[in-house]
A = this chain, B = another copy of it.
Amino acid sequence: MMMQFEEDVALLTDLYELTMAQGYLHEGHNEPATFSLFIRKYPPNRGFFVSCGLEDVLRYLESFRFTPKALDQLHRTGIFSDDFLDYLKELRFSGEVRAIPEGRLFFVDEPVLEVTAPIIEAQLVETFIINQVNLQTLIASKAARCVHAARGRSVVDFSLRRTQGTDAGMKVARASYIAGFSATSNVLAGVTYDIPLSGTMAHSFVSSYEREIDAFRAFARNFPERSILLIETYDAITGAHKAVEVAREMAARNQRLQGVRIDSGDLLTLGQEVRLILDEAGFSNVKIIGSGGLDEFDLDELSQENAPYDAYGVGTKMGVSRDAPWTDMAYKLVRYGERPIMKLSSNKVSLPDAKQVFRFNEVGHLHHDVIALRNEHMDGTQPLLKEVMANGHITAPLPSLGEIREQFRNEFSHLNEKYKELRNPDIYQVNLSPSLQALKESLEQELEAIEVEAGPAQRLTRDLGES
């Protein structure tokens, strides 16, 4: 009911995927098709994307099927023919997937994933693939900006309560960990993905006690090795003094207060004052954690001022990618049978045919990429898209989350600062190979001639409409 979709996940698709599939079936129109998944333009202030979501896509494709219940539900819509539903009963995903591995950087127009399969299969899986890769890439990219802005301080995912739903809560924890977050507060994500867990205490814990200091003492008694006291339920400064008192009591028991957290107010000033209070009391080893509506822009300001925080809890604004809560990610047919394909719709022109992406480095830094046709080779560099699924099966063991995270850390360290600027970053150079460019131009001309050039009657109407 609530989150139990797994067995019905084949229905988690747009109606038109199914009606088109029935059309394809009845017309005997089911040749191998290649679809490219790519992002058409940068959201505001973005200069790179972090590939994320592939593992979920592959697991989905490997287990793709319509259950008897799903087929019955489709039948009862009255939209589909019996022979089509019989066909769906046996349908499995039998195709191929090539993708830029999770954790790697990619840029506008570059296919992060290509599916090649009979068009019915490749079409039916569109919605889910975009849904997952769009979200996870979006969040990994946002989280990478936060980590970058924190300049070495730990950043922890606190977003679960305000992510857009439960699935997002899980995927945000995973994506932000890939991008360099050090932990999550999301318990299910922690145990599912093996991500370190982190947590402090809530205002409700403090206020449920008659005195703030009683709450601090109760928590310290219970978690002598992992107490982080939230000190601003009433006032951060007086809270800090109470924390010092508790830290002294703990020290007398040979325990150490791990830290204090400030969740509202002017974090820079409060952090400085609280640091001073702790240091003067001899508790320079007690950490300060900052939180409360933070995003990469806040972290950057705090970093510039060298605010004395040891770690940040980053929640909502990262977890929903507040300033850019979606990407213009599309899954476009680029080849059908032996025919390369593109569309001409306004501002949505797509690049034809199955592709490959090549990355060129210079003095240890990413220099530029080239989008090429799939069978092209380029000296001195490796292709980014790897085969990850063939005949409907995953072709090699999937990397661990730690490996993906390390892959990201390493490549990101070789991306020049100018592409990581939080505001108006430089646009990384992505060229088309001469062969791809030539194919695009010739197809454009051909399609203009066949599909758009209209007779005099049409032109007349158009002119009237525009006048």
Interface residues of A (CB under 8 A from B): 1-6, 8-9, 11-20, 22-24, 26-27, 29, 33, 35, 56, 59-60, 73-74, 76-77, 79, 119, 123, 126-128, 130-132, 134-135, 138, 158, 160-171, 185-188, 190-192, 197-212, 218-219, 221-223, 226, 232-235, 237-238, 241, 263-266, 269, 272-273, 276-277, 280, 316-317, 320-322, 325-327, 329, 332-333, 336, 339, 341-348, 447-448, 450-454, 457-458, 461-462, 464-466
Contact = CB atoms under 8 A, between A and B. Distances in A.
Given A197-B79, A343-B233, A458-B238, A130 B12 contact: no
29 contacts: A2-B9, A5-B166, A5-B188, A9-B188, A12-B166, A12-B170, A16-B199, A19-B222, A23-B219, A27-B222, A33-B204, A79-B197, A79-B226, A119-B204, A123-B202, A131-B161, A165-B166, A167-B167, A167-B168, A203-B332, A212-B451, A232-B345, A233-B345, A234-B344, A234-B452, A238-B453, A264-B345, A273-B465, A280-B461
Contact of A14 (B128, B130, B187, B321): B187
Instruction: Give this chain's copy count.
Output: 2
A208 B345 contact: no
Nearest to A218: B27
Given A164-B165, A269-B466, 20 more contacts: A2-B56, A2-B60, A4-B4, A12-B188, A13-B187, A14-B158, A14-B199, A15-B190, A16-B185, A19-B222, A19-B223, A20-B204, A23-B222, A29-B208, A29-B209, A77-B190, A79-B197, A204-B333, A211-B451, A234-B344
Contacts of A232: 345-346
A155 to B, nearest CB: 16
Contacts of A211: 450-451
Contacts of A450: 211
Contacts of A169: 12, 131
B164 A168 contact: yes
A236 to B, nearest CB: 8
B161 A126 contact: yes
The 9 closest A-B pairs by CB, nearest first: A15-B199, A165-B167, A273-B465, A16-B199, A164-B164, A204-B333, A234-B451, A165-B168, A11-B188
